[in-house]
């Protein structure tokens, strides 16, 4: 029995209504217990699913003895609310939307998954459904990462689908993501006698020149073209208004195609910034598109449309690292994720539900 405070989710409602119900349960990262309790309670009666709770992640598996197993996952947390709850319906230029925090990232995707998890008692492939916590915060807290470390058996499968927003298209894999600090050094002196010192900010000029001149590659990987990027995302330096600074740090973000390993990307950055101190502060390998297997091709055929590359890093890379090909597929425009006017087009929710159901029914 759910505790009295646990909201009741009706999984037979439409995926749009279910999206709304999920959004109206606040679940900013770190505060996922209530929503995961609600999901667990709603699935408790589904005898075709074996439930495993791990912290505020919930895994629900079918065990039908199918040849192949799909892993279908989504996170239940959101970035902080900024005046954008409760949800409301809006019509813009004749298209209907559900507006509010979480509608895009990614409770509409979770709603589609939940509805189908309950409804499809005998899918054509075995399915491991995963709803997890802490996606919007630090790497070390990520619920899918925790499962990958502690229960990698639960992530095993032939193919994985992550419900991150893709406007209901299939977006394969993801770019790798790396952040480095590039430093120029100098020697402090009073600004009235600058010639006694060496100005570290002036010494950083070649770093900015290299960034401004850099031409990012476009790299085809398994038929999809990934666009790379190299960008300063921060710069700092300076001691006081009358002091020649002895350090200037340029914080650089690099997005690299999934055909390149993190080691290769790091070596590339050390070449671009030769002569400067380069410190890696964050590094996540990308994921290849995951579209070369039979099961992936069948999925794409069932949901329709042309697969595109995913530019942003997503948790598909965790599956990729375990040898499970993975794609992103979910309702919502990723440019509206985290936005104050976050809103999902209702037709994209319906489209994802239709696509996923078609594939799971063996279509």
Per the structure block, which two tokens stand in for 2? 């759910």
Decide: is 208 part of the binding site for its own copies (CB under 8 A): yes
Coil, helix or strand at residue 90 = strand
Contact segment (CB under 8 A) with its own copies among 28-36, 172-180, 283-291, 354-362 equals: 172-180
Cβ neighbour number for residue 85 with a 10 Å cutoff: 17
Residues 15-54 that bind its own copies (CB under 8 A): none
Give the interface size with its own copies as a residue count (CB under 8 A): 48
Contact pattern from residue 304 through residue 343 relative to its own copies, giving x for each residue in contact according to CB under 8 A and a dash for the rest: -------xxx---------------------x--------
Pick between residue 3 and residue 192 the one whose CB is nearest to its own copies. 192
Pick between residue 115 and residue 336 the one whose CB is nearest to its own copies. 336
Give 206's contacts (C-beta < 8 A, 6+ positions apart): 275, 276
Decide: is 211 part of the binding site for its own copies (CB under 8 A): yes
Choose the catalytic residue: 32, 37, 56, 77. Answer: 77
Cβ(169)–Cβ(98) below 8 Å: no
Decide: is 235 part of the binding site for its own copies (CB under 8 A): yes
d(CA 124, CA 295): 11
Q: DSSP readout, 150-178?
A: H-HHHH--SEEEE---STTS-EESB-EEE
Coil, helix or strand at residue 184 = strand
Nearest approach, Cβ of residue 216 and its own copies (Å): 8
Q: Identify whether 135 is a catalytic site residue.
A: yes
Per the structure block, which two tokens stand in for 279? 């410190």
Decide: is 137 part of the binding site for its own copies (CB under 8 A): no
d(CA 57, CA 71): 14
Contact segment (CB under 8 A) with its own copies among 84-92, 127-135, 233-241, 293-301 equals: 233-241
Cβ(186)–Cβ(210) below 8 Å: no
Nearest approach, Cβ of residue 196 and its own copies (Å): 8
Q: Identify whether 77 is a catalytic site residue.
A: yes
Choose the catalytic residue: 32, 135, 266, 342. Answer: 135
d(CA 58, CA 305): 31
Contact segment (CB under 8 A) with its own copies among 9-17, 45-53, 224-232, 264-272 equals: 224-232
Coil, helix or strand at residue 282 = strand
Cβ(195)–Cβ(263) below 8 Å: no
Cβ neighbour number for residue 45 with a 10 Å cutoff: 9
Q: Which of 2, 7, 55, 229 binds its own copies (CB under 8 A)?
A: 229
Q: Which of 44, 121, 122, 194 binds its own copies (CB under 8 A)?
A: 194
- Kindly tell me the burial class for residue 207, based on how many C-beta atoms sit within 10 Å of its own C-beta (0-12, 13-18, 19 or more): buried
Q: Which of 234, 304, 362, 363 binds its own copies (CB under 8 A)?
A: 234
| Contact positions vs its own copies (CB under 8 A) | 175, 177, 179, 190-196, 199, 201-205, 208-209, 211-212, 216, 227, 229, 231-245, 248, 250-251, 253, 255, 282, 311-313, 335
- Residues serving a catalytic function are 77, 135
């Amino acid at each position: 029995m759910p505790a009295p405070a646990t909201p009741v989710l009706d999984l037979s409602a439409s995926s749009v209504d279910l999206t709304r119900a999920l959004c109206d349960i606040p679940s900013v990262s770190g505060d996922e217990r209530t929503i995961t309790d609600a999901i667990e309670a709603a699935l408790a009666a589904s005898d075709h699913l074996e439930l495993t709770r791990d912290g505020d992640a919930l895994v629900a598996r079918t065990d039908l003895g199918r040849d192949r197993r799909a892993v279908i996952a989504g996170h239940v947390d959101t970035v902080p609310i900024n005046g954008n709850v409760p949800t409301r319906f809006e019509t813009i230029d004749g298209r209907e939307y559900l507006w509010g925090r979480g509608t895009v990232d990614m409770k509409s995707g979770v709603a589609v998954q939940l509805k189908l998890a309950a409804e499809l008692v005998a899918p054509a492939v075995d399915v491991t459904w995963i709803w997890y916590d802490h996606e919007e915060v630090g790497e070390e807290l990520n619920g899918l990462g925790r499962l990958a470390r502690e229960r990698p058996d639960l992530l095993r499968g032939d193919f994985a689908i992550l419900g991150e927003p893709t406007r209901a298209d299939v977006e394969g894999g993801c770019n790798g993501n790396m952040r480095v600090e590039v430093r120029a050094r100098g020697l402090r002196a009073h600004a009235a006698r600058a010639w006694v010192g060496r100005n570290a900010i002036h010494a950083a000029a070649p770093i900015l020149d290299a960034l401004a001149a850099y031409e990012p590659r476009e790299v085809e990987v398994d038929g999809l073209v990934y666009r790379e990027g190299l960008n300063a995302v921060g710069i700092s330096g300076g001691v006081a208004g009358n002091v020649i600074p002895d350090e200037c740090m340029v914080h650089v973000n690099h997005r690299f195609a999934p055909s390149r390993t993190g080691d290769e990307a790091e070596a590339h950055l050390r070449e671009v910034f030769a002569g400067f101190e380069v410190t890696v502060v964050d590094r996540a390998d990308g994921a290849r598109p995951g579209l070369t297997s039979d099961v992936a091709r069948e999925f794409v055929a069932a949901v329709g449309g042309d697969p595109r590359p995913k530019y942003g890093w997503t948790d598909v890379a965790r599956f990729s690292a375990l040898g499970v090909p993975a794609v992103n597929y979910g309702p919502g425009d990723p440019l509206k994720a985290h936005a104050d006017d976050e809103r999902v087009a209702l037709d994209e929710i319906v489209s994802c539900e239709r696509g996923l159901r078609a594939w799971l029914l063996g279509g």
